[in-house]
Amino acid sequence: MDSNRSNRRDAPGPGKQEPSSGRSKAKNPWTERSAKQAPAPQPAEQEQPLTVPADEFPRKHVHQDALRVISRLSRQGHEAYLVGGCVRDLLLGRTPKDFDIATAAHPRHIRRLFRNARIIGRRFKLAHIFYGDHILETSTFRAAPRPEDNGEGDDLLITDDNAFGTAAEDARRRDFTINGLFFDPIENVIHDYVGGLADVEAGLLRTIGDPTVRMAEDPVRILRAIKFATRIGFRIDDSTWKAMCENSGELERAAPPRVLEEIMRLCVSGTALGAFRMMRASGALAVLMPEIDAYIGKRDDPDPVAHDRADNYWRLLEALDADVHAGREPSRALCLAVMYLRVVERELDPETRTLPGEPNDVFDVVSDVLEPLVQDSRLPRRTFITTRRMIVDQERFKKRPGSDPRSLVFTTTDGFDDALDLYRLRSAAWGQGWAMYEAWAAARAETAKASPDALAALRKKGRRRRSRRPRRRKRGGGASE
């Protein structure tokens, strides 16, 4: 497959709700200067970093606490830099989520210097430095794992990663060139051991070092590549993409909780549509969520029904992305419901069911579909239960609110807002039921205003209705109590 082409084809197209790529803002003179260094230096050969003045770096966006930690470390003679995602994001004119620090100081030095530091990690120790509820992750430079730290024989999978190293080694063990840059706020320079500056300028995502080795070492990097490429709109370098496709099967060996975490991040990124398309194109979706991959089907399936199915799936993800762009933060339970709703519907229909046996009710089908995630990925049971409730409750939106007192009681229950969120996304995605959504949202607003007495009366009315049912059935001669 022409990786590059498929890459472009599967990346979210222009006009889709994607966060604006920070690239257009990356017009700092020093990044332009660095672009002249292209082609990017080969990391393994480059002992000295490319050091570039960061005059135009938006230093004022660096958190004061981070500057405080770095100046104290360097006053004590320890090399210390901002590193990783925050440097990348600042270069792109984006707001960093957090500020990570890498230093030559050992955890015990950090502990001694900062009374507000707590050492965490069992194997590789790093420090969390607390300023109120703001935490700065401060880690000691780490070396790349030695061959004896990996799996057996030729197996490259990293199973142990806990050796301290130099700044250069620390940069090279990171995943992508754009994530391997160091910013020194004291000297106001960027140190680039890995060719990251040129790649930021070129809008290119590539691994540090041999992509095949780096993806085999840690297949979760496949999902991370997808996350960064879709989030910041970078093109994935051809050989990195090829290694992603070739190693997608290795994702089976990655720790399921880590994988689930990355997938959840993709869901709330605002670019879930592009990310899922890229997961499918790379083969990762077939390995990680085969039911979803099978539901979406093959790109080249000539059957128009299959295309409609895929289209409907994509539209729901698009609605989720639109929610994120509107400033909402979808819960994990909602993400899960969006991912699996169509699969559940398929399993409920005896015509399309793929699981063995006859479908039971929707409650059981959701359990059948999601139970493996609870078992393998340590999906919190509470999230699973909320998702199941959301999907089961969709049925109730078929009737208008107020058609019986229980429907109004439903609007006051804990799970109502979640279920209505899912219904709203469905309506937005598939263009049906919007009037019904508005009616339920209005009913919810009304009951929210109701006095406690009025609510109590409503609940009583709803309960009375429900309790009459078994008696009626008993009179019919069927049900026994």
Chain position carrying tokens 């992750």? 137
Question: Exactly one of 23, 142, 174, 309 binds ligand ATP (CB under 6 A); which one?
Answer: 174
The CA R_g of the chain, rounded to the nearest whole Å, is 26
63 binds Mg ion (CB under 5 A): no
Return the number of the residue (174 or 309) whose C-beta is nearest ligand ATP: 174
103 closest CA partner among 149, 167, 57: 167
Nearest to Mg ion by Cβ — which residue? 85
| CA distance readout (Å), 417 to 323, 334, 404 | 15, 11, 19
- Among ligand ATP, Mg ion, none, what binds residue 18 when CB lies within 5 to 8 Å by partner kind? none
Residue 128 contacts Mg ion per CB under 5 A: no
State yes or no: is 300 an active-site residue: no
- For residue 137, state whether it binds Mg ion (rule: CB under 5 A): no
CB of residue 176 to ligand ATP, shortest distance in Å: 7
Give the pairing of strands 189-192 and 181-184: antiparallel
Q: Given the complex with ligand ATP, which of 185 and 209 has the nearer CB atom?
A: 209
- Of 85, 151, 165, 415, which one interacts with ligand ATP (CB under 6 A)? 85
Q: Is 132 exposed, middle or buried (0-12, 13-18, 19+ CB in 10 A)?
A: exposed
Going residue by residue from 430 to 469, which x/- string records binding to Mg ion, judged by CB under 5 A? Answer: ----------------------------------------
Catalytic residue among 10, 170, 175, 321: 175
**Burial degree of 328 (CB within 10 A; 0-12, 13-18, 19+):** middle
**CB closer to Mg ion, 58 vs 85:** 85
Nearest CA to 313 out of 335, 290, 339 is that of 339
Q: Which of 65, 98, 149, 184 is catalytic?
A: 98
Compute CA 394 distance to the chain's CA centroid, rounded to the nearest angstrom: 25
Quote the tokens at residue 395. Answer: 């049925």
Size of the site for Mg ion (CB under 5 A): 1
Contact between 100 and ligand ATP (CB under 6 A)? yes
Binding mask 202-231 for ligand ATP (x = CB under 6 A): ----------------x-xx----------
Q: Among 10, 89, 100, 199, which one carries the catalytic annotation? A: 100
The answer to whether residue 97 forms part of the interface with ligand ATP (CB under 6 A) is: yes
Checking 110-113 for CB contacts under 8 A at 24+ apart, the result is 110/73, 110/138, 110/140, 113/72, 113/73, 113/76
Q: Alpha-carbon distance 346 to 352, whole Å?
A: 6
96 preceded by a cis bond (ω within 30 of 0)? no
Q: Which stretch binds ligand ATP (CB under 6 A): 30-38, 173-181, 390-398, 463-471?
A: 173-181
Any catalytic annotation for residue 368?
A: no
Binding mask 296-325 for Mg ion (x = CB under 5 A): ------------------------------
Q: Looking at the DSSP assignment, which residues form a beta bridge with residue 108?
A: none
Residue 100 annotated to the active site:
yes
Q: Which of 262, 218, 210 is nearest to 377 (CA)?
A: 262
Interface pick for Mg ion out of 19, 85, 359, 402 (rule CB under 5 A): 85
Residue 190's beta-bridge partner residues?
A: 52, 183
Catalytic annotation, residues: 98, 100, 175
List of residues contacting Mg ion (CB under 5 A): 85
List of residues contacting ligand ATP (CB under 6 A): 84-85, 97, 100, 174-175, 179-180, 218, 220-221
